[in-house]
Amino acid sequence: MITCDILIIGAGPAGLFATYYAGMRGLSTVVVDSLSHLGGQVAALYPEKFIYDVAGLPAVRGRDLISGLIDQAQSARPRIILGEECTTLDDQEDGSIIATTSAGTSIHCGAIVITGGIGRFTPRPLPAVDAYSGGGIHRVVGPAEEYAGHDVVVVGGGDSAVDWANMLAETANSVTLVHRRARFTAHESSVELVRNSRCRIITDAEVLEVAGSATVQHVVIKDAKQADSEVVPASIVIPALGHIASLGPVTGWGLTITGRQIEVGTDMSTGRPRVYAAGDITDYPGKVRLMVVGFGEAATAINNITVVLRPNENVFPGHSSELPRLVSAGSEG
Ligand SMILES: Cc1cc2nc3c(=O)[nH]c(=O)nc-3n(C[C@H](O)[C@H](O)[C@H](O)COP(=O)(O)OP(=O)(O)OC[C@H]3O[C@@H](n4cnc5c(N)ncnc54)[C@H](O)[C@@H]3O)c2cc1C
């Protein structure tokens, strides 16, 4: 059994900031996410896009924002459990809670912050990729340098597919973008960029087979209108068909859920004792679903949990500028 003061369910921006904040208040954390990586929607859906509405950062690439949030969260020394979904919550007689994950991990905690965003999201199926068990399938794209010398096939027609094709067009040995329709749904300027890049574009076509073992050797691409198929050399396949989101087990936790959101009070409490929520998953009158709002909610949730777990402390944490240094400073004058 793993024990901690606060269990954070969901490692997107709100969950990562809640983790840091818990550390700032001297509380230990376990972070669980059903994805195999940290960063929630930002890391999974748009790591290369620039974000222009995070306070103090005039323009920040998604990947860099997540990297900063992870660095900050690490100062809390959280235990991080990835690839497991939190499935059940059981109240204990002393007020604490035991949570269990899809892999059977039990976490005994004093309180919980649900930062589950739009829920667990799973990639849309692509039968040819799902039938392939070898290496070389990248569902999340790493830094462009890792693709140097590779023949990459990107599958999809939305923003992620087109952004990733654009990002790798100059670095990879070759990039082939395969889309089953004639028209892309990605932002017009990104589509124009990819059309003018080194990338080969194959539309009205689908991936019939992925062949290889330790890594991909080639893919077979079939024309949707004719019986023709073509073997395209590839060492990496990036399926970018989007995700299916679902709240999943959260709906069975006895919370008030409207649509896909948990109703919370001004202190981010959910109504279930010691269970709080923050970020995209919350709802209240006037809610604005943006990261900056989620960061504030995460701080509010943790500060209010602090006084539940340690009644002698204050909700207001004091000014961080008066605390000992927690993370390495970005700039010092
Ligand atoms: C293309 C795009 C562009 C965007 N641009 C901006 C922008 O410019 N500015 C802005 O502020 N916002 C933007 N957003 C929205 C922003 O990404 C979200 O507001 C933000 O990601 C929400 O953060 P979160 O931590 O609440 O949830 P998420 O990022 O959704 O993270 C939630 C995490 O919880 C996990 N999870 C869910 N349920 C469970 C469970 N039961 N067990 C374990 N793990 C679970 C999920 O796997 C996920 O990783 C954009 C969104 C998209 C799709």
Contact indicator for 239, 158 with CB cutoff of 8 Å: no
Same domain, 8 and 156: no
Q: How many domains does the chain have?
A: 2
Same domain, 148 and 204: yes
Angle subtended by helix axes 291-309 and 13-24, to nearest 10: 40
Q: What percent of the chain has pLDDT over 70?
A: 97
Same domain, 132 and 95: no
Q: What is the Cα–Cα distance from 234 to 15, expressed in whole angstroms?
A: 36
Residue 331 in domain: no
Domain limits for position 234: 125-241
User: Distance, CA 26 to ligand 1 centroid (Å)?
Assistant: 26
Residue 332 in domain: no
Same domain, 144 and 33: no
Q: Tell me, using a 6 A CB cutoff, whether residue 15 lines ligand 1.
A: yes
The per-residue DSSP string of 102-152 comes to TT--EEEEEEEEE--TT-EEEEPP-HHHHT--SS-B-SS---GGGGBT-EE
Report the pLDDT value the prediction gives residue 147, as an integer from 0 to 100. 96
The last residue of a domain, from among 241, 266, 285:
241
Residue 38 in domain: yes
Q: Tell me, using a 6 A CB cutoff, whether residue 172 lines ligand 1.
A: no
Same domain, 271 and 222: no
Mutate to test the pocket of ligand 1, among 31, 38, 42, 89 (most ligand atoms within 8 A of CB): 42
User: Distance, CA 280 to ligand 1 centroid (Å)?
Assistant: 7
Atom of ligand 1 nearest to the CA of 250: 41
Query: pTM for the complete prediction?
Result: 0.87
Give me the amino acid identity at 21.
Answer: Y
Residue 329 in domain: no
- Nearest CA to 152 among 140, 164, 134? 164
Q: What is the Cα–Cα distance from 19 to 31, expressed in whole angstroms?
A: 8
Provide the 10 A C-beta neighbour count for residue 170: 13
Number of helices and strands in the chain (H, E): 7, 21
Q: What is the Cα–Cα distance from 109 to 278, expressed in whole angstroms?
A: 18
Same domain, 276 and 296: yes
Give Cβ neighbours of residue 328 (< 8 Å, ≥ 6 apart).
71
User: Distance, CA 80 to ligand 1 centroid (Å)?
Assistant: 18
Task: Quick: pLDDT tens for 31-80.
Answer: 999 998 999 999 988 888 899 999 999 999 999 999 999 999 999 999 99
Tokens of 197: 């890049």
Q: What is the Cα–Cα distance from 306 to 24, expressed in whole angstroms?
A: 11
Q: Tell me, using a 6 A CB cutoff, whether residue 62 lines ligand 1.
A: no
Residue 132 in domain: yes
Across the range 131-137, mean pLDDT stands at 94
* CATH code of the domain covering residue 184: 3.50.50.60
Q: Tell me, using a 6 A CB cutoff, whether residue 167 lines ligand 1.
A: no
The last residue of a domain, from among 182, 217, 241:
241
User: Distance, CA 276 to ligand 1 centroid (Å)?
Assistant: 17
The per-residue DSSP string of 45-112 comes to H-TTSEE--BTTBSSEEHHHHHHHHHHHHHTT--EEEES--EEEEEE-TTS-EEEEETT--EEEEEEE
Q: Tell me, using a 6 A CB cutoff, whether residue 85 lines ligand 1.
A: yes
Same domain, 11 and 160: no
Q: Is the dihedral of CA 213, 216, 218, 223 positive or negative?
A: positive
Label residue 326 by pLDDT band (50, 70, 90).
low
- Nearest CA to 155 among 210, 100, 78, 110? 210
Same domain, 254 and 117: yes
Q: What is the Cα–Cα distance from 200 to 151, expressed in whole angstroms?
A: 11
User: Distance, CA 95 to ligand 1 centroid (Å)?
Assistant: 29
User: Distance, CA 86 to ligand 1 centroid (Å)?
Assistant: 16
Q: What percent of the chain has pLDDT over 90?
A: 84
User: Distance, CA 216 to ligand 1 centroid (Å)?
Assistant: 30
The last residue of a domain, from among 212, 241, 270:
241
For 67-71, 87-91, 119-123, which range has the lowest pLDDT when averaged over its residues?
Answer: 119-123
Give Cβ neighbours of residue 62 (< 8 Å, ≥ 6 apart).
42, 43, 46, 47, 48, 49, 50, 51
pLDDT: is 325 or 5 the higher one? Answer: 5
Report the pLDDT value the prediction gives residue 170, as an integer from 0 to 100. 93
Residue 328 in domain: no
Same domain, 130 and 212: yes
Chain-wide mean pLDDT for the chain?
94
Q: Tell me, using a 6 A CB cutoff, whether residue 156 lines ligand 1.
A: no
Distance between the two ends of the chain, CA-based, in angstroms?
A: 46
User: Distance, CA 40 to ligand 1 centroid (Å)?
Assistant: 5
Quick check: 123 pLDDT over 90?
no
Helix, strand, coil share of the chain (percent; to 5): 25, 30, 45
Same domain, 250 and 230: no
Look up tokens 């087990």; give the residue. 249
Mutate to test the pocket of ligand 1, among 72, 291, 292, 297 (most ligand atoms within 8 A of CB): 291
Quick check: 175 pLDDT over 90?
yes
Atom of ligand 1 nearest to the CA of 49: 3
Quick check: 333 pLDDT over 60?
no
Same domain, 203 and 288: no
Same domain, 68 and 96: yes
Task: Quick: pLDDT tens for 212-260.
Answer: 998 999 999 999 888 889 999 999 999 999 888 899 999 999 999 999 9
Label residue 302 by pLDDT band (50, 70, 90).
very high
Residue 327 in domain: no
Residue 333 in domain: no
User: Distance, CA 217 to ligand 1 centroid (Å)?
Assistant: 34
